[in-house]
Amino acid sequence: MRKLSSSLLFAATLASGAGPEMVAIPAQKCTIGGSVSHEEVHKESIPAFLIAKTPVTNADYKVFVDESGHPPPARNSVGNNEQFWNGKTFPAEIAMQPVVNVSWQDAVAYCKWLSSKYGKPYRLPTEEEWEVAARGGLKGKPYPWGDAVDKTKAWHGGKWDGVNTLRDASYGAANPYGLLGMSGNVWQWVDDWYVPVFNGRPVQEELNLFKVIRGGSWSNEAGFLTVNYRNFHPPDFKDFFIGFRPALTASSPAPPPPTK
């Protein structure tokens, strides 16, 4: 497998020195999750914000690793032999695939670096922001683009196949906001703690243990890819199913939602 040259990596990454391509999401209401919020305080009204058009790629993440000295992705938290990076390099074939084997803590560090580099307050999206972004302004639809899913719309139901395991971050069907990869390919870290609830009350012993992930991955079946499906892991957990995308608080009003 050939390795990317530094010039090819830079050409494949953060566009024109302006940071990641962001999409404006209008202010709106959010009914989080399938039926019951596991948030202690669910934020029903979501102000306008921006979110990256695709998950962060390996090429993007390499710029972060090279410039910040942050450790590169290695094996996952359970010690599987499968990994994509070899030190600070990786096969050219996966440059535009979403970076994986990154923890919530790694994702936060990336957003802080991005903020310093471009002078904007990048961060992980909240869970509500992620969900309204994924829905794309559609009402009552299970997937970001509508009612049905197949492998041309979202990469899912796969098995480990080395550099062919994932698809590029831009793979599949866009939702009405123009966002890609909101379903399948990689789960995505969001900012929020997962709050376990029993008999209508938060389980105090399990608070601040898990961070929420959304979207489903390359290995999951279709039911895990719906816009309201919620999952969680500890913030230091890493796996080759999980990536992320940054968000920004809007500095000016976003366009109105699409008319359906």
Asked if residue 63 lies in contact with residue 14, where contact means CB atoms within 8 angstroms, the answer is yes
Where does 6-249 sit in CATH, by number?
3.90.1580.10
Torsion region of 200: left, alpha or beta (phi above 0 gives left; psi -120 to 50 gives alpha):
left
- pLDDT tier at 225, thresholds 50, 70, 90: very high
Mean pLDDT value across residues 75-80: 82
State mean pLDDT over 26-54. Answer: 77
Return the higher-pLDDT residue of 202 and 1: 202
Portion of the chain with pLDDT greater than 70, in percent: 86
| Local confidence band at 258 (pLDDT 50, 70, 90 cut-offs) | low
> 18 or 126: whose pLDDT is higher?
126
pLDDT digits (tens, 9 = 90+) for 108-165: 999 999 999 999 999 999 999 999 999 999 998 999 999 999 999 999 999 999 999 9
- Residue 33 confidence class, pLDDT cut points 50, 70, 90: low
For residue 197, what pLDDT is reported?
A: 74
Give the C-alpha separation, 68 to 87, whole Å. Answer: 15
Report the Cα 52 to chain-centroid distance in Å.
9
Mean pLDDT for the chain?
A: 87
Annotated domain spans of the chain = 6-249
Query: Could you tell me which residues come within 8 angstroms of residue 229 by beta carbon, excluding any fewer than 6 positions away?
Result: 34, 214, 216, 223
pTM confidence score: 0.88
pLDDT at 39: 57
